[in-house]
Amino acid sequence: MTAATLPSSSFPPTPRFWQNRTVRRFARHKLAVVGVAMITLLILACVFGPYLLPYDELYIDLRARFAPPLTGYHIFGTDPLGRDIAARLFNAGRISLLVGFFAMVLSTVIGTVIGVVAGYYGGRLGTVLMRFVDAFLAFPSIFLLLALAAFVKPSPFMITVIIAVTSWMEIARLVEAEVRSLRERDFVLAARMLGLPNAWIMFRELLPNAIGPIIVAATLTVARAILMEAYISFLGYGIQPPLPSWGNMLNGAQQYLDKAPWLAIVPGVAITLAVTSFNFIGDGLRDALDARSDLN
Partner 1 sequence: MSDHNKPLIKTTRRQALGLMALSASGVVFSGLPGFASAMAQQAKTIKGQLTVGFSQEPTVFNPHMPHIEVDEGVHFSVFDPLFYVDADGKFVAALAAEVPSVENGGISADGLTWKVTLRDDVKWHDGKPFTAEDVKFTLELLVDPDFRSWRKTGHEFVRDLTVVSPTEITWKMEKPFAPYPSILASTFITPKHILGAEADRNTAAYNNAPIGTGPFKWKERIAGDYILLEANAAYFADGPYVERLIYKYVPDLNVLYTQFKTGDIDVVGLQWITPDHYDEAKDLEGKVINIVPGSTIESFTFNMERPQFKEPAVREALYHAIDKQSIIEALYYGLPSPTESYVPQQSIYYNTDLPKHEYSIEKAKTLLDDAGWAEGADGIRAKDGVKLSFTCSTTAGNHIREQVQQYIQQSFKDIGVEMTISNLPPAVMWGDYWMLSQFDTVIVGLDFLTGPDPDTSDFFRSTSSPAKGGAGQNTWQFVNKDVDDLLAQGGSLFVPEERKAVYLKIQNVMRKELPFLPLFQYATVRGHKDGIEKVQPNINTRIDTWNVATWRWA
Partner 2 sequence: MLSYLLQRLWQSLVLLLLVSIIGFAILNLAPGGPLSQFALTPGMTREALDRIAHQMGLDRPLPIQYLEWAWRLLQGDWGKSYRDQRPVLDIISGHLFATLLLMISSTVVSILIGTWIGIKGATKRYSIFDYSATVGAMIALSIPTFWFGLVAIYVFALKLKWLPAGNMYTIGDQSFYDYAIHLIMPSIVLALVNIAVWSRYMRTATLDVINQDFVRTARAKGLTPRRVLMKHVVGNALLPMITLAGLQLPTILGGALVTETVFTWPGMGRLFLDSLGYHDYPVVMGLLMFSAILVLLGSLLADLLVALVDPRIRLG
Q: Which residues have C-beta within 8 Å of that of residue 249, sequence separation ≥ 6?
A: 79, 85, 88, 89, 92, 263, 266, 267
Q: Is 237 in the site for partner 1 (CB under 8 A)?
A: yes
Task: Please give the residue ranges that form the binding site for partner 2 (CB under 8 A).
Answer: 30-31, 127, 131-132, 134-144, 146-148, 150-151, 223, 227, 230-231, 234, 250, 253-254, 257-258, 261, 264-265, 268, 271-272, 275-276, 278-280, 283, 292-293, 295-296
Task: Rule CB under 8 A: say whether 261 interacts with partner 1.
Answer: no
Distance of CA 161 to the CA centre of its chain: 12
Residue 285 and residue 21: Cα distance in Å, rounded?
A: 12
Backbone conformation region of residue 70, classed left if phi is above 0, alpha if psi is from -120 to 50, else beta? left
144 forms part of the interface with partner 1 (CB under 8 A): no
Q: How far apart are CA 66 and CA 78, in angstroms?
A: 5
- Quote the CA–CA distance of 219 and 235 in Å, as a whole number: 25
Nearer to partner 2, 9 or 276 (CB): 276
Q: How many whole angstroms separate alpha carbon 70 and alpha carbon 85?
A: 11
**Of partner 2, partner 1, none, which one does residue 280 interact with (CB within 5 to 8 Å by kind)?**
partner 2
For residue 54, the partner it binds in partner 2, partner 1, none, with Cβ less than 5 to 8 A by kind, is none
CA–centroid distance for 31 within its chain: 18
Q: What does 152 bind: partner 2, partner 1, none (CB cut-off 5 to 8 Å by kind)?
A: none
Residue among 122 and 252 whose Cβ is closer to partner 1: 252
From the list 81, 110, 144, 264, which residue makes contact with partner 1 (rule: CB under 8 A)?
81
Number of residues engaging partner 1 in binding (CB under 8 A): 26
251 lies in the site for partner 1, by CB under 8 A: yes
Contacted entry of partner 1, partner 2, none for residue 64, CB cut-off 5 to 8 Å set by kind: none
Query: Which residue among 31, 165, 190, 235 contacts partner 1 (CB under 8 A)?
Result: 235
Q: Pick left, alpha or beta for residue 157 (phi over 0 → left; psi -120 to 50 → alpha; otherwise beta).
A: alpha
Are 166 and 144 within 8 A, CB to CB?
A: yes
149 binds partner 1, rule: CB under 8 A: yes
Q: Report the alpha-carbon distance of residue 261 to residue 96 in Å, rounded.
A: 21
Binder of residue 252, out of partner 2, partner 1, none (CB less than 5 to 8 A by kind): partner 1
Nearest to 150 by CA among 226, 35, 55, 236: 236
Residue 60 site contact among partner 1, partner 2, none (CB < 5 to 8 Å, cut-off depends on kind): partner 1
Interacting residues with partner 1 (CB under 8 A)? 58-60, 62, 65, 80-81, 146, 149-150, 153-154, 235-237, 240-242, 251-252, 254-259
